[in-house]
Amino acid sequence: MVYYDKDGIVIRDLRRSDARVLTDEEIAQGWDATIDKYEMRLRHQAEGKAVALAAEWNGNVAGYINVYPDAKSGAFANRGCAEIVDFGVLEKYRRRGIGGKLMDVAEEIAFSYSDEIYLGVGLHSGYGSAQRMYVKRGYIPDGSGVWYRDQVCEPYSDCRNDDELVLYLSKRR
């Protein structure tokens, strides 16, 4: 299904062929990537657990995002809130409005399932642009504190500033 198609940007359902392209491109830009996460998203989409989206820029796969209508993990688990998960735009396609359109479509889908949506954002500098974008889009911290490996990181406990250290943010319609 195509959700958006204008000015060279297409937002559509993720396809099996996208998984290899995205994985290879992420590896080429120095990310620690495997095809497993895309195969999982495709499986969850086939099972009706998620809506997995891909973005194209002038016919080239450029990014991805996923919506889980009733997330089973994180700060809002099992509360009937939709979660936006695993959002990325390949570096060579950034600053073209692709990420904003991916978020627009993902939020529209997420809000069709619940009046409050949420996401987790990493805390290291690699997530800096995402952190700023979420604040600009109206997301606020949920108040549960920092999470590490899918659990609240208790005050003064040990953790690592890796991709598993996140802050959950939410937004109401």
DSSP secondary structure, 37-55, as one string: HHHHHHHHHHTTS-EEEEE
Report the pLDDT value the prediction gives residue 59, as an integer from 0 to 100: 96
pLDDT confidence bin for 73, thresholds 50/70/90? confident
Number of helices followed by number of strands (H, E) in the chain: 4, 9
User: What domains, with CATH codes, occur in the chain?
Assistant: 2-172 (3.40.630.30)
Percent of the chain with pLDDT over 70: 100
Question: What rounded mean pLDDT belongs to the chain?
Answer: 95
The total number of residues shown for the chain amounts to 173
Q: Is there a contact between 121 and 170 (Cβ–Cβ < 8 Å)? A: no
Percent of the chain with pLDDT over 90: 89
The C-alpha atoms of residue 155 and residue 5 are separated, in whole angstroms, by: 46
Reported as a single tens digit per residue, the pLDDT across 13-46 is 999 999 999 999 999 999 889 999 999 999 999 9
pLDDT > 90? residue 77 = no
pTM: predicted TM-score of the whole model, two decimal places: 0.93
Q: How many whole angstroms from its chain centre is CA 72?
A: 15
Report the pLDDT value the prediction gives residue 32, as an integer from 0 to 100: 86
Beta-carbon contacts of 119 under 8 Å, excluding residues fewer than 6 positions away, are: 83, 84, 85, 87, 134, 139, 168, 169
pLDDT > 90? residue 148 = yes
Report the pLDDT value the prediction gives residue 72, as an integer from 0 to 100: 84
Q: Averaged over 126-153, what is the pLDDT?
A: 94
Report the pLDDT value the prediction gives residue 74, as an integer from 0 to 100: 86
